[in-house]
């Protein structure tokens, strides 16, 4: 999401005559920090999160009060939270301000010229442990490695937001490497993990097909 703040400029020698958009954005940023602390956790997935990742402002000159500012919010959802509920949380914070919340969209043009777009809303999802897809994964893992797997959650987003979160297709995650290193500067994956993951994918399909 982005939040836009519309102020009123004045000369820097008389800031009281204007309405500083940077101050508006700053106050809201501090409230968003508090919002992150009071988000309600899900029993399995845990708590969602929200943080300010960018602030931009503009003014007629460097000796004038800023008349516009914008903050970018990264909001991670947990079970029970939606784009609508997340937007309402921010609208409550900016109530009475000359500001508005914008849910961003994503658009890309293919080589054919077709332009495809969607809201930048990635719904959370989870699949019950007793679901056939999860149980098949447990069976495949145990059969391959002679021990039971850890059935848990990932703490980051995956393409499961589309397969399961949007379209309701049962989805499980299994991948090589340590999730702590995902997208980190020192990210690395042992070759042995690649071999094990490849074996699991084959075994999963074999077991699922009966």
CATH number at residue 97: 3.30.70.360
Question: Do 37 and 109 lie in a common domain?
Answer: yes
Beta bridge partners of 116: 108
pTM, to two decimals: 0.82
Question: Do 37 and 100 lie in a common domain?
Answer: yes
Question: Do 144 and 182 lie in a common domain?
Answer: yes
| Per-residue tens of pLDDT for the chain, all 210 residues | 999 999 999 999 999 999 999 999 999 999 999 999 999 999 999 999 999 999 999 999 999 999 999 999 999 999 999 999 999 999 999 999 999 999 999 899 999 999 988 899 999 999 999 999 999 999 999 999 999 999 999 888 889 999 999 999 999 999 899 988 888 899 999 999 999 999 999 999 999 998
Question: Tokens in use for 70?
Answer: 């914008």
Specify if 125 maps to a domain.
no
3-class DSSP assignment, residue 87: helix
Question: Do 17 and 111 lie in a common domain?
Answer: yes
Specify if 124 maps to a domain.
no
d(CA 192, CA 176): 9
Question: Which of 74, 98, 119 is the C-terminal boundary of a domain?
Answer: 119
> By residue range, what is the domain housing residue 152?
132-208
Considering its fold, how many domains does the chain have in total? Answer: 2
- Give the closest residue to 6 by CA, choosing from 71, 87, 97: 97
Beta strands in 63-190 (DSSP E): 68-76, 99-102, 105-109, 115-119
Question: Tokens in use for 149?
Answer: 């797997």
Question: Which of 65, 95, 119 is the C-terminal boundary of a domain?
Answer: 119
- At 86 the pLDDT is 97
Question: Do 96 and 59 lie in a common domain?
Answer: yes
Question: Do 36 and 114 lie in a common domain?
Answer: yes
Question: Do 22 and 109 lie in a common domain?
Answer: yes
Specify if 127 maps to a domain.
no
């Amino acid at each position: 999401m982005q939040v836009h703040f519309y102020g009123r400029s004045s000369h820097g020698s008389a800031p009281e005559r204007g309405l500083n958009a940077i101050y508006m954005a700053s106050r809201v940023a501090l409230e968003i920090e508090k919002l992150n602390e009071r988000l309600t956790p899900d029993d399995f997935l845990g708590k969602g999160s929200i943080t300010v990742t960018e602030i931009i402002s503009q003014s007629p000159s460097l000796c004038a009060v800023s008349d516009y500012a914008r903050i970018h919010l990264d909001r991670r959802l947990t079970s029970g939270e939606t784009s609508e509920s997340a937007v309402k949380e921010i609208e409550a914070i900016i109530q009475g301000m000359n500001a508005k919340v914008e849910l961003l969209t994503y658009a890309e043009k293919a080589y054919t010229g077709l332009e495809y777009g969607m809201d930048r809303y990635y719904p959370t999802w989870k699949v019950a442990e007793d679901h056939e897809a999860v149980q098949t994964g447990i069976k495949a893992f145990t059969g391959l490695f002679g021990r039971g797997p850890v059935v848990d959650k990932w703490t980051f987003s995956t393409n499961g937001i589309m397969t399961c979160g949007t379209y309701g297709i049962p989805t499980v995650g299994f991948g090589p490497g340590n999730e702590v290193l995902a997208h980190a500067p020192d990210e690395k994956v042992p070759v042995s993990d690649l071999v094990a993951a490849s074996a699991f994918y084959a075994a999963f399909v074999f077991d699922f097909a009966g």
